[in-house]
Amino acid sequence: MKNKKSGYYVHAVFIFLTAVFGISSFFIFSDIIGRSLQSVIKLKTDPSFTGGRIAAVFYDPVGDDHGYGGLSYPVSKNFPAGALDLVRYTVHEPVYNAQWSKLSDYWQIDLEFTGSLRYGRNIRIYIDADGNSQGALQTKTEFAEGVEFDASFPWDYVLSIQNNEGTLQSADGLLIVQLNVVQTDHYKKLAVRIPLENHLLQTLYSIDVTRHYVCVGGWSPAGRDGFLDVSESAFTPKLFDILVPDGKTQEQVLSAWNEDTFEVPVLYPVAVIMKASLEKSQLNSAEESDELQKKLELAAAKKSGEILKNSTEAYEAAVRESPQDMEKIAVAAFNAEKYDEAEKLFDQLLMKNPDSANASAYKGSLIALRSSKASPLRAVDMVAESYRYLDRSISLADDPAELITAFLNRGNVSKAVPDIVFGKALQGAGDFLAAGNEFKKLAASGTDDRKNYLNSAASAYCNAAICFEIAGKKEEAGTWFREADRMTADLDFEETSEVRLMVLRYFKKVDR
């Protein structure tokens, strides 16, 4: 019986639980007060203490750690999922005469990955530092990565990073400098500091643009230049992830090899503006972005009204046509914002089947909703009670529809309740990411609803980004807003207006 209904429940959660969860005024003010105190007592930090002012940030698609499209990780616990999946590449301005660092003159580059990996990454960053067409077009060690470089931008320096160690080497091999590599956030992030005391590197202070080839492979002591072998063919590029400029795809670039003609793929660099003040905003002019925001707000409001209208009609149809299907009516009542009726029906369903994942998920959300009308102490107890249902729904869910329902309900509650009181924002981010991944699987299954599933995945990622932002994880927030933006770029404007609006508001805010 459950299998017959699973498709219905997946469609039901397209609505994305758009109800705004109310919380008591005590929670609202305590959260505001707490965050205000944090902002007051937080000392202004010298940029050199954290790596220098950020000059440029590049976002790489999430989940593209498959090289040319056909690579897979070794069957080993040493390579967990996402360990080689580069998602964010940050370049700082070179720092001069830092007061809070052992290195007074340095240049910092940060890399962020989806998954954790302490030992096993082999990273190369080839840099054209002057744009004068002099340098190298082959890799540091011939045939190691299985690629070559754009003849217009030969590289001058290469950063070789294995795990928590690294070196900078010039193209002629005459300059070798040890790097300072620090891994943080459970080995998902790497901060690479390049000492600039050598007079040959001092020119980086005056350069406006550099160009970077960013390459990520697996590490193996037996591999050529430490690169893990990935195929029987010597021509298969040994790179799981690369950064590519706009207009190109990783799969397109890395699949361009030919064993018969001895051709290897040619990589193309991303251009890095070295001064933060020189970097153009990713948005258009303020007037254009404001106009776009107005259009998106109108489209999103129209879409929201249509969703509520359709939900109300669906509820009336369920009552009329399926009077015996209590669960269908209960879900429809919830989506139509008939919360009292929905909760009564879910209570009855849980009386009949205490192990219903769907009923537990919605019951948890409904208790959280009711906490808005309770006293502060009672509201704390009610939120705790809601999580008992929400956590149980996660443990009971055993198919994609139930997982999506459980993750979205708990994620929405975690996003709504004040993080300074309950500390649930990061859990909410994880729930939304899990829901988004389930939607992506459905989109890839060949269904006619592919575009709807992609939009739902993007919406889940936006909500995950909001949770990261609430928890103070700004970099993670930017990563997932950017991923949502990428996923909806080719989808219908009005259908994806809610996602586009969330993305636009975020990047307008961070560009200020």
Average pLDDT over residues 269-275: 92
Q: For CATH 2.60.40.1190, list the domain ranges present in the chain.
A: 51-278
Instruction: Quote the pTM value.
Output: 0.73
Residue 75 has pLDDT above 80, yes or no: no
Task: Name 422's Cβ contacts closer than 8 Å, sequence gap at least 6.
Answer: 383, 414
Yes or no: domain 51-278 corresponds to CATH 3.40.1280.10: no
Residue 122 has pLDDT above 80, yes or no: yes
196-212: pLDDT as tens digits = 999 899 999 999 999 99
Instruction: Give the CA distances from residue 264 to residues 84, 127, 140, 149, 259, in Å, rounded to whole numbers and listed in that order.
Output: 22, 20, 15, 10, 8
What backbone torsions phi and psi does residue 309 show, to the nearest 5 degrees?
Answer: -65, -45
CB atoms within 10 A of CB 184: 11
Residue 87 has pLDDT above 70, yes or no: yes
Residue 479 has pLDDT above 50, yes or no: yes
Tokens linked to 297: 């707000």
- Residue 32 is predicted with a pLDDT of 43
164-199: pLDDT as tens digits = 899 999 999 999 999 999 999 999 999 999 999 998
CATH of 290-510, one of 1.25.40.10, 3.20.20.70, 3.40.50.300, 3.40.605.10: 1.25.40.10
State how far the Cα of 61 lies from the Cα of 56, in Å rounded to an integer.
17
More confident residue, 40 or 59: 59
Average pLDDT over residues 266-270: 97
Let me know: does 395 contact 355? Beta carbons within 8 Å.
no
- Residue 413 is predicted with a pLDDT of 94
The sign one gets for the Cα dihedral 42, 47, 52, 55 is positive
Residue 2 has pLDDT above 70, yes or no: no
- Residue 375 is predicted with a pLDDT of 86
Beta strand pairing call for 241-242 and 266-267: unpaired
- Residue 475 is predicted with a pLDDT of 85
More confident residue, 251 or 54: 251
Q: For CATH 1.25.40.10, list the domain ranges present in the chain.
A: 290-510
Residue 122: enclosing H or E segment and its boundaries? strand 121-128
What backbone torsions phi and psi does residue 443 show, to the nearest 5 degrees?
Answer: -65, -30
Residue 98 has pLDDT above 80, yes or no: no
Position of tokens 């109108």?
298
